Amino acid sequence: MYLYIYDSCLKDKKYENLLTKIEARIIDLDMRGEVLKMNLLKNISQFLKDGIKKGAHTVIVIGDDKTFSTVLESAMLENIVMGYIPIDKKSKFSQIFGIPYGDLACTIIGGGIVEKIDIGKINNKFFLGSVVVENSHNTELKIDNFKIRVGRGNKIIIKNIDFEEENLNTSNPTDGLFEIFVEKVGGFMSKNSKHTLIKTNDILVTSKDSSVPLVFDGVQTINTPAQISIAKEKLNIIVGSNRKF
């Protein structure tokens, strides 16, 4: 049995046609299941727990990357396979996973190629893509037996998966490692630009004075101090043959 989590934005009229096509395709492929339409009052974890008790094996998110990130944490805790039907043509997760937009994604989901990928953990939260430290000059990264500090005008990016268009192939979500980059603020990453790259699987981020916000997956924030570690091959995700890893 499948569990479906619908993004709250799908109530919008502009998604009506797309949602009808997706639902029709789900019926064609005999992938019916229970639906949760997201809103502030709905508890995703409870929905997954109840679904698993009834025999559910896969949760499918119909929405954008932000919705996927929101569901990720609960799916990790319940150890359920995740699928994704993107409703945003520019979805970066869909590019990484090789999942096409809209109803075309249903065929891939039905195909059921499941890959195990690494997930980042920041304190007690999970992330798929990256953690960005904006005020990097106020922070210190402790890795193994050494510490890293950076000068003003730089930002530190800790990546599990790299979503930059030109770097989609540079980070591997199955290698058990993060890539740490230091970039000039306002600059562009290019082959010739000066950047810092260190690979590791465990980082403690602290700050000198007040707490510094760390933004993970571009949508959620946590303050220092933060322990960032990798959960190797912890997420089971349905992917397409065009995946980037």
145 binding another protein? (CB under 8 A): yes
54 binding another protein? (CB under 8 A): no
**C-alpha span between 159 and 30 (Å, rounded):** 37
In this structure, which amino acid lies at residue 75?
A: A
Q: What is the DSSP letter of 51?
A: H
Question: In this chain, which of 194, 209, 210, 241 binds another protein, going by CB under 8 A?
Answer: 194
**C-alpha span between 195 and 44 (Å, rounded):** 39
148 binding another protein? (CB under 8 A): yes
**C-alpha span between 115 and 127 (Å, rounded):** 17
Pick the stretch among 64-72, 164-172, 193-201, 220-228 that binds another protein (CB under 8 A).
193-201
Q: Which is nearer to another protein, 3 or 158 (CB)?
A: 158
Phi, psi (rounded to 5 degrees) for 151: -80, 175
Q: The tokens 């994604």 sit on which residue?
A: 105
182 binding another protein? (CB under 8 A): yes
11 binding another protein? (CB under 8 A): no
**C-alpha span between 243 and 95 (Å, rounded):** 7
Question: In this chain, which of 21, 184, 234, 243 binds another protein, going by CB under 8 A?
Answer: 184
Question: In this chain, which of 40, 53, 89, 146 binds another protein, going by CB under 8 A?
Answer: 146
Note the residues at the interface with another protein (CB under 8 A): 144-151, 153-154, 182, 184, 192, 194-199
